[in-house]
Structure 1
Amino acid sequence: MNLKNKNISPIKTNSWIKLQEHFKEIKNISLKNFFLENKNRFDQFNVQFNKLLFDFSKNRINKKTINILSNLAIECKLEEYIYKMFSGEKINETENRSVLHTALRNFDKNKKIFINGVNIMEDIYFTIEKMKIFSEKIRNGIWKGYTNKPIKNIVNVGIGGSHIGPMMVVEALKSYSNKNLNIHFISNIDGSSLYYLFNKIDLDTTIFIISSKTFTTEETITNFKSILNFFIKKTKNKKFIKKHFIATTSNKKEAIKFGIPEKNIFLFGDWVGGRYSVWNAVGLSICLYIGFENFYSFLKGAYEIDLHFKNEKIEKNIPILLALIGIWNINFLKINNHLILPYNQSLQYFILYIQQLEMESNGKSVNRNGIKINYSTCPIIWGGLGNDSQHSFYQFLYQGTISSSFDFIIYIKDKYKELENHNKILFSNFLSQTRSLAFGNQKEEIIQELIIELKKKKYVNFLFPHKIIKGNKPSNSIILEELSPITLGNLMAIYEHKIFVQSIIWNIFAFDQWGVELGKKNSKKILLDLYKKNEINCYDSSTNNLINFYKKIFN
């Protein structure tokens, strides 16, 4: 293995040293002063891409900050790694795999990408065409259930990337849905999920999409087995499986073992990470719900950002800028708490999606050479719907003791003209919060307010410190003209590439998740012990006693 190019520790680059020096120069300059000193600040710190505006002017940066951060990306060979990813080199080295979710949405029909001598683009186009044909059969009522009725319910059974991504996109684009179809998502192996599902659906008008890359994922296969047993018990005929069960996987043999016919299996390669797999077969539930043309537009939106990411200069490249600003906030301003705050109800699951995408990718503490690192990588990612959260945890953001940075996200146009006043109130709240977190309040304003409110000056000194909002909280604003399949594809691809850029600069692998694998391994061992009748005494005292407590209650 050639370690030469990977052994680029960011803290040993010239740019990192310059950023440390630069931080000392501007650490005491507030956002308020940045704006006072530069009346054209917004013009210098925003990028527009089609129907998307990225405003990063409310960050504690100046032109010099961006220049040095750009040089850091160059020193860390970012351009070289972008080329490697798109061309199919095996940059996921711990698993010896390529990273080619971008190939799933490639619109260049002349593009060929070879893995082990096979042009994978042919398989990708085959799967997309198969999805088109199948979705049209379902949506047009041609595909019938075992009682010859058209399908009305879609149940997506998966977990992680096979669940969160499709669920998020379906919720975001439900205004594009086929009103004759209902969609349900099952991920948790808590039996109540299936109990309530079985009471909501009619089996003869339902298809189940079992989505698992390996087709061995414990939660997904456990749910699948229970659904399959329930189905066979009710229908009393295994032959009906072919009318109601679909698989999306990279392990065709395992799916066939469970009785799913080959024609019902939609394949994707092992070079697609689960959390990046929504763009092809794993997106089948999306394709069925919003229709193939809309799904195709969704892919196109991501492809547009792929081209932007590959070809645009750093100073106008949205994913790279978003990544570099994150590195500045995390590694130099020491802000390890980042919130995703969408203001539209349709984007309520976007927080979960980014949380998984980012924390499972970049939650690492060893570099690509296996050496423990001594700088911060992925921050804590959390958030909530902006307007609701203003009445929940925003108090903590304004006056709490832990620093935070933010991505505020909103789309402007909606389809409900009769509720236009709601739209304006929503946008005013969006702007108010970004401004208030950035600039806080003025001493004079507080005193004047208190005098007016109380009309008794003796209370001013007591209440004054409780009213202080210092501001100076960095944020990005991402504004979409509208939420459509294309703009959602844009937005999701921006974050995918942002995470990749940060992994390269931090010198970590973004496409494995060995911590998750350890949890799975331990779970299997404990499960075997739960079935044993005797008391358990082979773990630590806590685990032993908790297992034995469970056995006592359960039995």
Structure 2
Amino acid sequence: MIDPTQTQSWQALTELAADRGDQRTVALFDRDPERATRYRLEAAGITLDYSKQRIDDDIRTQLAGLVAECGVEQARDAMFAGDHVNTSEDRAAWHVALRAPEAAPMYDEVHEIRHAMADFAQEVRAGQWRGFAGDAITDVVNIGIGGSDLGPRLICESLYTGDGPRPHFVANVDPHDLDDTLARLDPKTTLVIVTSKSFGTAETLANARVARQWLIDGGAGEGDVAKHFVAVSSNREKVSAFGIERMFGFWDWVGGRYSLWSAVGLSIELALGPDVFEALLGGAHAMDTHFREAPVEDNLPIWLALAGIWNNNFLDLTSHCVVPYAQRMANLASFLQQLEMESNGKSVTRDGQPTTVATVPTIWGSVGTNAQHAYFQMLHQGDLTVDLDFVLPLSDADQAGDEREVERVANCLAQAEALMCGRDSQALAEELKAEGLSGDALSHRLAARQFAGNRPSNMLVMDRLDAHHLGALIAAYEHKVFVQGIIWNVNSFDQWGVELGKTMAGKLVEDLNTAGTPSAHDASTAALLSRVRQRWQR
């Protein structure tokens, strides 16, 4: 395992950051009129413009050197080959096999499951799969959490047009999430997908049991459960015990946050159709091919990763904001929070030692243009510098004349420009003087309207918002995470940090459900437990 801080490139980047970390990007454009072209990459219908980053050619050379010195390309090839790159769990991380074409010599059983999903989706969408009262399915509820929810939810919300059963997603164990969803639905026409690899996820099973009872209360018999419930799982025994007959399996080398391409995407296929699901896989595979074959200098996911490493590790920008300028992609930041922070939120290296560098920054964000009227004030004038990804899907030509489309695109480009350029103080002073301001009033107004600029950002342009391009975008982010994990020397495919809280929650469930003496807890938790039990006893 390679300690990145001991590489020549890391040490050179440390020196460059001290010397040029505050260089103004506007000045880089002044010196290099071709910068916008040279710092732009395209792959699978996605364009990455990273020219607004505080990166010059010397920095770019050393960042590329990190890729070579840290063995990124060798690790990439091992992942694609199905090697056990998930070292702490001794398994592959082979999500790329899920979207490989059928002719690809990777894993035959993937295509068997894919065919079974397509056949089932066609049966449901054609009205051939019917509920206990003989009605066709009109609504599909996916019950899952984390990777069993966020990816399919993002895809369906981004692409659903009404041609197919309406998709609904329930993840939270808060009763209002499921109860409010079911209140809008008819049990006779509802199909529930219980998505849990182990079929033991506490939150998911609690919701599944309530949904099962809702079906029975709605007139179904115990033998009708199989008409309204299917499972995405690898635990046949538990699925059968629940009363579910139709199960779609997947494998231990499919990590939750990388699983939307597997049977976990069944809700996508039901709502959008097999052709759309295949286009989603095709877009991801196109980005896989680019990531695997493009040289480092032209490799879009690699530069998405390297720009993040430069900002996080050398400019100390530990907050990263993602702003999609598309209402249907409002959940992109939520999806990326799990993908990036669960993957690389580690402080232990792949060989079990403390990390020597900062790993993943805080990922957050929301949809533009709404964000401009919320936290963009802080982005422009706050004392915390944040780097951003702007995501801009383009519309087709027949929508270009829509006033709202023009506003959407203009606002996205304007925010990125304003964050980089800021406002010229001298020009602002002249403007305010022309308005009649002078003395203290001029000084105060001048100070209040200063924009420092030099806030770095990427612009990711999608040729359009469809399945192919959305698949390519998500795959690009997956590979970004992988590259950063290799350079930081962490395992991007385990998530042991999730386990402790879940184990402790199990003990607290027992304490909340019994009247006896609770198990040992810290003083704060014990007091809160007592407070809850007192309230419930009233």
TM-score, length-normalised on structure 2?
A: 0.97
Say whether 1:186 aligns with 2:180.
no
Quote the residue 2:26 is aligned against: 32
Quote the residue 1:446 is aligned against: 428
Deviation at 1:259, TM superposition (A): 1.5
Q: Secondary structure at the match of 2:499?
A: helix
Quote the residue 1:215 is aligned against: 199
Deviation at 1:196, TM superposition (A): 1.8
Deviations 1:136-177 (A, max 9, x none): 1111111111111111110110000111111110011123x4
* Aligned residue identity for 2:372: Q
Q: Secondary structure at the match of 1:413?
A: coil
Deviations 1:356-385 (A, max 9, x none): 100000000111121112321000000111
Say whether 1:131 aligns with 2:131.
no
Distance in 2, Cα, partners of 1:233 & 1:293? 36
Structure 2 stretches lacking a partner, 5+ long:
none
Conservation of the 8 A alpha-carbon contact between 2:187 and 2:214: no
Shift of the 220–419 alpha-carbon distance from structure 1 to 2, 3 Å rule, reads farther
Quote the residue 1:247 is aligned against: 231
Deviations 1:474-525 (A, max 9, x none): 1000011211100000100000000000000000011111110111111001
Deviation at 1:33, TM superposition (A): 0.8
- Structure 2 counterpart of 1:503, from 479, 482, 485: 485
Quote the residue 1:234 is aligned against: 218
Quote the residue 1:316 is aligned against: 298
Say whether 1:198 aligns with 2:182.
yes
Quote the residue 1:163 is aligned against: 149
Quote the residue 2:475 is aligned against: 493
* Aligned residue identity for 1:432: A
Deviation at 1:539, TM superposition (A): 1.1
Quote the residue 2:356 is aligned against: 374
Q: Secondary structure at the match of 1:409?
A: strand
* Aligned residue identity for 2:36: F
Quote the residue 1:66 is aligned against: 60
Deviation at 1:237, TM superposition (A): 1.4
Deviation at 1:52, TM superposition (A): 2.0
Distance in 1, Cα, partners of 2:339 & 2:474? 10
Distance in 1, Cα, partners of 2:255 & 2:519? 38
* Aligned residue identity for 1:125: H
Deviation at 1:449, TM superposition (A): 2.5
- The sequence identity of aligned pairs, in percent, is 36
Conservation of the 8 A alpha-carbon contact between 1:530 and 1:551: yes
Say whether 1:297 aligns with 2:283.
no
Residues 43-54 of structure 1 aligned to structure 2 (within 5 Å): 43-54=37-48
Distance in 1, Cα, partners of 2:271 & 2:435? 54
* Aligned residue identity for 1:82: R
Distance in 2, Cα, partners of 1:412 & 1:193? 33
Deviation at 1:197, TM superposition (A): 2.4
RMSD: 1.5
Shift of the 416–228 alpha-carbon distance from structure 1 to 2, 3 Å rule, reads farther
Deviation at 1:534, TM superposition (A): 3.4
Conservation of the 8 A alpha-carbon contact between 2:400 and 2:406: no
Distance in 2, Cα, partners of 1:96 & 1:489? 28
* Aligned residue identity for 1:487: H
Conservation of the 8 A alpha-carbon contact between 1:32 and 1:439: yes
Quote the residue 2:49 is aligned against: 55
Conservation of the 8 A alpha-carbon contact between 2:148 and 2:264: yes
Residues 108-119 of structure 1 aligned to structure 2 (within 5 Å): 109-112=103-106
Distance in 1, Cα, partners of 2:446 & 2:209? 62
Quote the residue 2:532 is aligned against: 550
- Structure 1 counterpart of 2:344, from 362, 381, 394: 362
Quote the residue 2:209 is aligned against: 225
Conservation of the 8 A alpha-carbon contact between 1:412 and 1:423: no
Distance in 1, Cα, partners of 2:227 & 2:396? 38
Distance in 1, Cα, partners of 2:435 & 2:274? 59
Q: Secondary structure at the match of 1:210?
A: strand
Conservation of the 8 A alpha-carbon contact between 1:341 and 1:406: yes
Structure 1 stretches lacking a partner, 5+ long:
1-6, 113-120
Q: Secondary structure at the match of 1:482?
A: coil
Conservation of the 8 A alpha-carbon contact between 1:536 and 1:548: no
Decide which moves more: 321-330 or 450-459: 450-459
* Aligned residue identity for 1:105: R
Decide which moves more: 462-471 or 531-540: 531-540
- Structure 2 counterpart of 1:147, from 133, 142, 150: 133
Shift of the 452–537 alpha-carbon distance from structure 1 to 2, 3 Å rule, reads farther
Deviation at 1:412, TM superposition (A): 1.5
Quote the residue 1:4 is aligned against: none
Decide which moves more: 76-85 or 367-376: 367-376
Say whether 1:173 aligns with 2:173.
no
Distance in 1, Cα, partners of 2:401 & 2:511? 57
Q: Secondary structure at the match of 1:189?
A: coil
Quote the residue 2:382 is aligned against: 400
Distance in 2, Cα, partners of 1:327 & 1:79? 17
Conservation of the 8 A alpha-carbon contact between 2:44 and 2:283: no
Say whether 1:90 aligns with 2:72.
no
* Aligned residue identity for 2:394: I
Distance in 1, Cα, partners of 2:44 & 2:221? 53
* Aligned residue identity for 1:252: R
Distance in 2, Cα, partners of 1:498 & 1:369? 21
Deviation at 1:538, TM superposition (A): 1.8
Say whether 1:80 aligns with 2:74.
yes
Q: Secondary structure at the match of 2:493?
A: coil
Quote the residue 2:240 is aligned against: 256
Q: Secondary structure at the match of 1:356?
A: helix
* Aligned residue identity for 1:486: H
Deviation at 1:236, TM superposition (A): 4.9
Deviations 1:515-555 (A, max 9, x none): 10111111001111111213547211110010011001012
Distance in 2, Cα, partners of 1:167 & 1:43? 35
Deviations 1:261-305 (A, max 9, x none): 1xx100110110001100020000000111100110000000000
Decide which moves more: 460-469 or 220-229: 460-469
Distance in 2, Cα, partners of 1:195 & 1:331? 44
Deviation at 1:242, TM superposition (A): 1.5
Quote the residue 1:107 is aligned against: 101
Number of aligned pairs? Answer: 537
Quote the residue 2:462 is aligned against: 480
Shift of the 528–476 alpha-carbon distance from structure 1 to 2, 3 Å rule, reads same
* Aligned residue identity for 2:434: I
* Aligned residue identity for 2:281: L
Conservation of the 8 A alpha-carbon contact between 1:411 and 1:482: yes
Distance in 1, Cα, partners of 2:421 & 2:192? 51
Conservation of the 8 A alpha-carbon contact between 2:132 and 2:188: yes
